[in-house]
Structure 1
Amino acid sequence: MRKPVRSEVGQADKEVSFRSLRVFAEIMRTGSATAAAKQLSLSQPAVSKLISQLETKVGFDLFYRDRGKLVPTADGTKLMQEVDLTLASLDRFNSLVRDIAGYSAGTIRVVAPPSFAEGVLPDIVSRFRDRFPGVEFSIDSRSVGTARSMIAMRYVDCGFVKLPTDETDLELDEIVTSGSLCVMREDHPLANYDSISPTDIGLHPLILLGAGGYWRAQVDAAFASCGLKPVVAIETHTHGSACALAGRGNGLAILNDLLVRPYIQAPLVTRPFTPPITHTYAFAVSNVARPSRLTEEFKKEALSFFLERPQNSLSAEGK
């Protein structure tokens, strides 16, 4: 077993290469110079040489050599914590360089409310990746309030939020407005109506999204304007679950036209809800810093998607 070596070298000679740091980190991760060489597509002698050079540069041993095995020293283990941070920073720098060079690679972190993330966002992301297949996505699905905070604090690059919002630290671009639909089984008593109002619904049991939100307040107000109060059989929180419940005969659901489309299949049918209740969504970024070019390109894709998308198709097809 070799004792740690203390090298007396000048300050200028202590500069180390990122390549040797990657080799060091890979040996620490895999526990083997052979495995590290394979992972990094290097020969084992090249790995050993880089580690030896690194130890000379830093002035202390990083590993004990014990019968052909590399055992991290206490100094090596301590250094690894800083190496991880250094390499992570370098990776972020390289990702930004690739982004600026031409969208060939990079990561976009997106947040959206659950039903939007499930019902609409996959189409937008798929279109974007058809154009830029090297771009990776990290998609987070959170409540409206949490999504706004994540965008404002720059935990994500961008997101989709429902308007109106009183957030002053967001830059908002309105992208789409949709109406509302009644979703029910084809054998529901109201399925033969061309459109459905609160008066038509009367005492029929309803499936509504959870109380307390702006959308639910709009539904309650529509019924109140007719002197009625909705008879809520089930409260849920996503359009997918509301449609599944309606398909099993639990009642009639009043839902967002835009977000409900992926879930409409037999035996479900849709009819427009009147008076119209609209839903407006915006593409949001933090106004603290200018978004990356990759994020700007993703915004253009979202705008293009909704401009090309036929509106109110379910209202017509569901009859």
Structure 2
Amino acid sequence: MRPGARRPLSTLGVRALETLAEVMRTGSATSAATSLGMTQPGVSRTLAQIESAIGFELFYRDRGKLVPTKDGLLLAEEVEFALAGLRRVSNLANDIANSAAGELRVVAPPSFTDGVLPDIVASFLRKHPGVRFNLDSRSLETSKALIATRVVDCGFMKMPVAGGDLHCEPLVSSGSGCVLRADHPLAAHAVLTPGLLRGEPLILLGSGRQWRIQVDQAFDTFNLRPTVAIETHTHGSACALASRGVGVAIVNTLLAQSYVREGLVLRTFDPPILHQYAFVTAVNAQPSRLVAAFLEEARAALSRHSSSEAGPARA
């Protein structure tokens, strides 16, 4: 190969990459030609052009057989990745052109993804069949970074949300409640106060967070301290523990509703502790049609949740 004869492989086009990948896969220029709708001389000529462009051999020629060199195998692996990426772009373009799909990447707190979002996602997908959905749960700081850098399209976060690189659309407010067994003596009350919960073993979430500080403050107004029996980190586990009769769970009503099964009741906690959530996107990104449609679906569904919460105590 003469010095200075090399040129960028990209100048040979996608067809050359497809030819290389097919020869590597089949091990034969003749088989590759049949698969690609080319002639065998055409395949051989393309391979020679590739080798001329990159400056090294891709195959050993052994009595008409093509045996990949170590360098050829290494290059072919990256070519496969590149072609897979091009296929994804092509598929997405077709989906968008046909209004069939796209991909939506969403991040939310664990209790949101486990309790509230499945119904919203299912309803959204019924209206937008074919959309690929990626639902993730991360820590608050990681979620903020994923949204700000547009690794994900949107997310749900508890307000207030700090960060000038994020746009927050207030979405829903929720009160607090108590989940306990239906046969618990306190289940007879529609509203439970710290006074009524005096000495009761409690199941509480979020040690050290603002929510727990507010719970402590609510008990302090009655000159009491909560009797903490169990600390946990998800509403699902709090309600599951309450169903075993090991304590009364004080929870976010919105996030707990999905876990109130038969044998459990949800009662209002007073004094009120409010939880506000926002739909969050990157501040410098124009929301796509899918993001806008998903926001509307979430708004409608959470509005129904809020109406349910405002009704009679659940039993």
- TM-score normalised over the length of structure 2: 0.83
Q: Which amino acid aligns with 2:314?
A: G
Structure-1 residue corresponding to 2:203: 207
Query: In the alignment, which residue of structure 1 is the partner of 2:232?
Result: 236
3-state DSSP class of the match of 2:307? coil
User: Is 1:126 aligned with 2:122?
Assistant: yes
Structure 2 counterpart SS, 1:269: strand
What's the counterpart of residue 149 of structure 1? 145
Q: Match of 1:55?
A: 47
Shift, 1:78, TM fit? 3.7
Distance 1:218 1:173 in 2: 24
Structure 1: how far apart are the matches of 2:88 and 2:97?
14
Pairing of 1:127-276 with structure 2 (within 5 A): 127-276=123-272
One-letter amino acid matched to 1:227:
N
2-side partners of 1:48 and 1:181: how far apart? 73
The sequence identity of aligned pairs, in percent, is 47
* CA distance in structure 2 between the partners assigned to 1:70 and 1:162 by the alignment: 60
Q: How many residues were matched structurally?
A: 307
Match of 1:293 among 283, 289, 293: 289
- Give the drift of 1:251: 0.1
1:265 offset after TM fit, Å?
1.1
Residue ranges of structure 2 left out of the alignment (5+ in a row): none
Mapped contact 1:161–1:284 kept (Cα < 8 A) = yes
| Distance in 2 between residues matched to 1:110 and 1:300, nearest whole Å | 14
Letter aligned with residue 159 of structure 1: G
Q: Is the CA contact (8 Å cut-off) linking 1:180 and 1:277 kept in structure 2?
A: yes
Cα distance per residue 1:279-316 (max 9 Å; x no partner)? 11111111133233322222222223223446234862
- Structure 1: runs of 5+ lacking an equivalent: none
Alpha carbons 1:115, 1:238 under 8 Å: kept: yes
Task: State the TM-score, normalizing by the size of structure 1.
Answer: 0.82
Worse overlay, 11-20 or 286-295: 11-20
CA offset at residue 16 of structure 1? 3.1
**Secondary structure of the equivalent of 2:76?**
helix
Q: Distance in 2 between matches of 1:285 and 1:14?
A: 36
Q: Counterpart of 1:190 in 2: which secondary structure?
A: helix
2:290 and 2:253 map into 1 onto residues whose CA distance is: 29
**In structure 2, C-alpha distance between the alignment counterparts of 1:270 and 1:152, rounded to whole Å:** 37
Whether the 8 Å CA contact 1:181–1:254 is kept in 2: the answer is: yes
Q: 1:25 to 1:230 in 2, by over 3 A?
A: farther
| Paired amino acid for 1:55 | L
